[in-house]
A and B are shown apart, each in its own frame.
Chain A
């Protein structure tokens, strides 16, 4: 079946602009996660959604970052007033309700110039 998809694959933006990154999880998966991978670093948790529960936003680095998940499926990560330090690969993952395995998408490489 279809895996996790993310768009765009690559995004170049100017400092100060807003960007939106999209994640389409595996059909039927209730949990959705966003991670950030900076150059040469491991993955850093940003936010996760589980069903209709309030999202865990504990990993968001600043109030310029926000995310929503509409209809329990597609999620959008928004970064406002982008800074150069926001340049990274943003990875999305999903898992089933009682599953502990997370399935990752191919990521979006964000470059802020």
Chain B
């Protein structure tokens, strides 16, 4: 079974600065998908960024980018130019390829605070 570990329960960053959230996972599969979701106080889970394991290039979405290290089974999220609206819980998630077990396996989350 796959597991996802987020070792930072809480992180804090100043507005306009850069922060990196860590995520490691364990799997015996060679192909899979990784995601970062944001959950603000509204509870709505919002997809931030995704990475296909077969792609060597790190995914980027505006101020959000990942550092995907397949051999190390590491998938960190970098948030640049942090904004107050980035404050939320961030969850790392793993998914097997479509057609097999399609559930998401989540880490326990990192609470990000953004300060002025």
A45 to B43, CA, bound (A): 16
Chain B contact-residue range equals 20 to 34
- For B47-71 the 0/1 string (1 means CB < 8 A from A) is 1001000000000000000000000
Interface residue? A59 (CB, 8 A): yes
Residues of B within 8 A of A33 (CB): 102-104
**Stretch of A18-26, A69-77, A100-108 contacting B (4+ beta carbons < 8 Å):** A100-108
A104 to B104, CA, bound (A): 12
Contact of A41 with B108 in the complex, beta carbons under 8 Å: yes
Residues of B within 8 A of A103 (CB): 47
Interface residue? A1 (CB, 8 A): no
A31 to B103, CA, bound (A): 10
Residues of B within 8 A of A56 (CB): 101-103
Contact of B95 with A100 in the complex, beta carbons under 8 Å: yes
Interface residue? B105 (CB, 8 A): yes
Residues of A within 8 A of B109 (CB): 42
Q: Which 9 A-B pairs have the closest CB atoms?
A: A104-B45, A42-B106, A45-B103, A42-B108, A43-B106, A107-B43, A100-B33, A106-B44, A100-B98
